[in-house]
Structure 1
Amino acid sequence: MKIIFFELEPHYESFIRTAFPSDELLFFKQPLTPDSIPPQAHDADIISIFICSCITPHVLEQLHNLKLIVTRSTGCDHICMQEAQRKQIIVCNAPTYADTSVAEYTFALLLSLARRINISWFRTAHQSSFSLDGLQGFDLRGKTIGVIGTGNIGRKVITLARGFGMKVIAHDTYPDKQLAQENQFDYVSLEMLLQQSDIITLHVPLNDSTHHLINKQTVSLIKKGAYLINTARGGIIQTEALLFGLQLNIIAGAALDVLEEECCTQDPLHLLQSSHPSEQQLKIVLENQELIKHPRVIITPHNAFNSVQALERLMHITIDSITAFKNGTPINKARNA
């Protein structure tokens, strides 16, 4: 079979070649997008992608021989699942490879906000200043953390929060009563969570129902002085609404490992050179620049998954998914594929 890997660092190639010695393998460091479809991909049987690839109906039309998409991510929002299903293309993801890594990273961001670690480091490293002015933080113990989404990552966050002595409340479309009982927290409505939480952390997939879940209307419900953390997907937060909340001091601070249009923000020149950059895309990229420079916002480059252990698990899951498909017994099929 012809298998193509996109957005893959070169040091993984030998590992993959060992796993598939009899297949035709190609590797591209760049993502697969409607504006960047290499000719070699047109007859691929299998592709493996990461989050900056954008698998639109146009891309699927060009890859006329495609049978399997393996995304090296938990989320599938960069894939047109409906079109893949219509074309009977199987989509596999990696739902549990980074749950511990992302949960721990969530608390790294939270502690940085709570104790102003990023500002402290910047002052000492770049200003040789050891002044404590403006660096007073707050303890996590006794604070209320609102966890939106109690799947694999959300439940790990809840466990960590209880270890810090925090009060936990949660919101999920499908509440897990046993989980709540075992971990001594309550499920509440989204409105109540926003009104009562000192810290709000997002752990839901990006889909039609969660797109812009945090918008101007929901921001207005947030408890004044709360902190917002997003290690899920950028599109869950409306960027304009976050800036609005920061400007009015509704939101005291935010820590974001993901952004709306983050791939375009990483490479704005590529956006300008693409065939059809939209006015909305350009607007969000400019708003992201405001967030990057904002003194009460911490932004990291979609790094929460990036631990040695998580990436080892991810490569094994990817290889297992491809091998199982080749053997006629697909595994790790994305939930709505």
Structure 2
Amino acid sequence: MAVSTPAVGIVGTGSYLPHEPIDLEHYLAAGLELSPMDRGPLFRPPQRRHHVKPGDRASELIERAALPMFDRLGLDPARHVDLLLTNVLLPDDLFTGSGADTAHRLGIAPRTVLDVHNGGCASFQYMMEIAATFVGAGRARGVLVANVQNTAGQIFEQDGNRFKQHSLVAGDGCGVAYLAAGAETGGRLLGVRTRNTPSTARDIGMATDDGRHYWESGPSVLDVRFDPAVTKDTVEFGNRIVPELVRELADECGFDVADVDAFITNQPNRIFLRNWRTELDIEEERHLNTYDRYGNLYGAAVPVTLHDAVTRGRIAPGDLVVTAGFAHAGDFAAACAFRW
């Protein structure tokens, strides 16, 4: 589905990476042995990543990313946030999500608070669509969007998980963006393209060696696993879906993929990054990522990398910026475009 957007745009970005970075040498010293393939250019783990620690709350990460952003913008969030959208991979609280505690920490009381849980690694684009819908309906003028990845330090660092391939590439972090109606600076939202594929929703999930549900007590370690029977299909689908949506978005918005100045995606591994830009014929220098510094940031990868690019001057006025990603085993995917 494509969504044309009202006059709304990103006027500020921010990020927060918890604690000191953990180098790959930390794992090698702890007994990790890399195969010759794992040492190669496509399969080697990221050199660094950040991990949350026990007691770190997702709302705290959002606070540390958002408040400096509002300070830079010279805005009081209590007066300028009507809609708060959060996506947190591992919510701190079982029933309430992270939105309410985030609002409390920021000292805001938005008209609407939504925890957008199902968007996963494509949730940044999904929240752009929701923000544009609310602004277009006159229900919001200022929107705070926040993505948090916090499973690396809480699930993947546990004994029994630490040296697994998906654990080694995962990092924790938070990315935020502030959108405003009628924004004349920053990134003007041109359009959003989304696709739901519900049949793949159960191809990934929480799993234990003894088969217990995640809420049941037991000695086994909780992990995240793909259905091994469809792993090949999942990889092929992930390789295909992101370029498809980018091309569809380009057609809807009237631009050529060749004209994209900055392409930012979720960053599961180096292979997906390579395959996506190869399929779209986008040079590596235009496909921005923070994988080697921060690892797989899941849903937070797009806003963290966007803020990094803006801060480093990798995005200039007039640039066409496209962000995209797919979630979980592909049950949701999305792309969006901005004119900076």
| Higher relative contact order, structure no. (Cα contacts within 8 Å, ≥ 6 residues apart) | 2
TM-score between both structures, scaled by the size of structure 2: 0.32
| Structure number with higher strand proportion | 2
TM-score between both structures, scaled by the size of structure 1: 0.32
**Which is higher, the Rg of structure 1 or of structure 2?**
1
